[in-house]
Amino acid sequence: MLSELLSTVFERRTRYWRTGRRDGRPLPELTAELRGAQGESSGLALARSILDRYEELDDDGRLEFFRHLSEEMTIEPDAVRQALAAYEEKETRISYRALMEATEPPRQELIRRLNQVPGATQALVRMRADLIRLGRNDDALQALDLDFRHLFSSWFNRGFLVLRPINWESPAHILEKIIAYEAVHAIDSWDDLRRRLQPSDRRCFAFFHPAMPDEPLIFVEVALTRGIARSVQKLLAEGSDRLAEEDADTAVFYSISNCQAGLAGISFGNSLIKQVAADLSVELPWLKTFVTLSPIPGLMKWVQSKDLSPEVGNAAEMSKLAAAYLLNAKKPGGMPLDPVARFHLGNGASVHQINPDADTSEKGQSQSAGVMVNYLYDLSKVVQNHELFATGHKVAASSEVRSLAAEAKKALT
């Protein structure tokens, strides 16, 4: 209730502060004045003007704005050295504060002041999406992005997020965004969306932030099944038999979609899955198993890098190769090569079951020859699995998957 109230307050204040007069001065002049502003009203007006002016810029103008922040509002090495020397000479509250101020670039405080304007959080998320897109190959702009990411990690921590169920009765503008943001298995129509939300054996949950009440940050789609699902097409098929929720024993997380490009690198999914699993276990205490039905997006690229012909990819062979890839293919440093595997294993899941011919879509065929995987969330073991993975990159897996990986050695040699 408190989160809903905060959302309403944010929305009302946003409408009020958007009625200010436009300030046509150059953006660097406005940012300099905002950094030094003492009055609350003048600071809010300046922040609103900067954000409005930014929205009017084309990509060249936005890139120029980012360069202004990265070049003219960065740390000063000499000031850092002097503050560090003073702190090393005598560790006091004053010397520590001086060191903190010297090592924080002025643009962080600018971003904080911009965020004082109601409605600014969403504008800053869009701004970071532009920065990520325009600054991919620029070290200075990537350093600027670290400042955005540092601040967003605090603003969007789990304590501020609101978990909401999404169903067929949810507002239309939210449902439209679920269709638009679905990133794993495209929603083709409103009828397709209805099949995912309305039946008693379907659930959908999303995280929201009070400052962005109409924008889902991430959502997960869940199917209640009897036994572990092995095919996404069967889960999503039109006219498929529906299960009464009391007859289900398994919750299958079959699609997880991040919604905001400007929040890339800010992790919500681990909290979302664990929260939904915990809530479902309370709502439906007879559920015994919590699993995903996940893609393996890097499998075929890895197979081809090993000079293995796709023609060897019959169901049995591809299952073995998929197991070997998920358990043994590593990035420098020892983390799994597959991004989805890194995500779920980092959350404390285990590689439970390999499913050939599980995704017959064009995307599924090109990424993994149709192979999908079930990651198991055993709520009694997720903490232990997470610790082993975090400290030693140990991959938890079923004996069946380990046997398949061992059998793949012949193909790989």
Q: Map out the domains of the chain with their CATH numbers.
A: 25-155 (1.20.140.90), 160-412 (3.40.630.150)
- Answer whether residue 19 shows pLDDT above 70: no
Global pTM reads 0.87
Choosing from 344, 350, 352, 368, the catalytic residue is: 344
Q: How far is CA 214 from the centre of its chain?
A: 17
Choosing from 7, 294, 319, 350, the catalytic residue is: 294
In contact, 373 and 355? CB cutoff 8 Å: yes
pLDDT for the residue 239 = 74
pLDDT for the residue 8 = 53
- Answer whether residue 312 shows pLDDT above 80: no
- Answer whether residue 411 shows pLDDT above 80: no
Residues 324-381 pLDDT 10s: 999 999 999 999 999 999 999 999 999 999 999 999 999 999 999 999 999 999 999 9
pLDDT for the residue 309 = 63
- Active site (annotated) includes residue 294: yes
- Active site (annotated) includes residue 361: no
Residues 232-261 pLDDT 10s: 999 998 877 789 999 999 999 999 999 999
The three-class DSSP label of residue 255 is strand
| Eight-class DSSP state of 183 | -
pLDDT for the residue 362 = 93
Q: Confidence class of residue 13 from pLDDT cuts 50, 70 and 90?
A: very low
Cα–Cα separations (whole angstroms), residue 187 to 165, 180, 218, 273, 360? 18, 8, 16, 21, 16
Contacts of 125 (CB under 8 A, 6+ apart): 152, 212, 260, 262, 263
